[in-house]
Amino acid sequence: MNARFFQLLSGYVSPGVASSVSLAADGERVVVIDPGMVSNKELIISAIQSVGYSAPEVTDVIVSHLHLDHTMNVALFSNATVHDFMASYKDDSWENHEENFSITENITVVSTPGHTREDVSTFVKADSGLVVCTHLWWSSSGPEVDPYSHDQRTLESSRSMVLQRKPDLIVPGHGPSFKVSELRL
């Protein structure tokens, strides 16, 4: 059995800033990826309901990195364990994890530095194929050179590593999902 995957909201960077928000469900785990800035947090709640889940049912939240535009609404999920590049957090528990780790058999989190040193990408094996949620691209059009990157070469090597895994769909930080063939770089 594969995971179910939904891009709940497509991010954007102008006008305003909003994060792409996604949900992956696999067995008992309901995982939200990047509950960040949106025009109204109710949008996240209603998008989750529209795919058959509710905020209290969310067991895990993954943040792609630590910029607030991708973490702003983490507190909507009071029952969730929150995962970043370094550790998993629940209530007052802080457990460091390996650099790459799995939430379930079909949901894997991989270190992909470049936008920041603390970036991770989430791979989801879904019926539609292999999906990756990542901030290595903001949208299908790049930007090729990330103005926030601490090291563009590291970013490019993380992009290559992600593409080598042959994802069928990329969910970028601030745009609708796209196929690798649609990358306009």
Q: Does 146 bind Zn ion (CB under 5 A)?
A: no
Residue nearest to Zn ion (CB): 67
Q: Among 67-75, 86-94, 125-133, 162-170, which window interacts with Zn ion (CB under 5 A)?
A: 67-75
Q: Among 41-49, 139-147, 150-158, 170-178, which window interacts with Zn ion (CB under 5 A)?
A: 170-178
Which residue in 109, 32, 107, 43 sits closest to 71, CA to CA? 32
Q: Does 173 bind Zn ion (CB under 5 A)?
A: yes
Instruction: Between 4 and 67, name the residue whose CB sits nearer to Zn ion.
Output: 67
CB-based contact 18:38 (threshold 8 Å): yes
Instruction: Between 14 and 181, name the residue whose CB sits nearer to Zn ion.
Output: 14
> Is the bond preceding 113 in cis, omega lying within 30 degrees of 0?
no
List the one residue from 60, 69, 84, 146 that touches Zn ion (CB under 5 A). Answer: 69
Contacting residues for 83 by C-beta, under 8 A, at least 6 apart: 60, 61, 62, 63, 89, 97, 101, 103, 109
Q: Does 175 bind Zn ion (CB under 5 A)?
A: no
**Number of residues binding to Zn ion, judged by CB under 5 A:** 3
Instruction: Between 173 and 175, name the residue whose CB sits nearer to Zn ion.
Output: 173
Cross-strand partners of 171:
133
Give the span between the Cα atoms of 60 and 161, in whole angstroms. Answer: 25
| Interface ranges with Zn ion (CB under 5 A) | 67, 69, 173
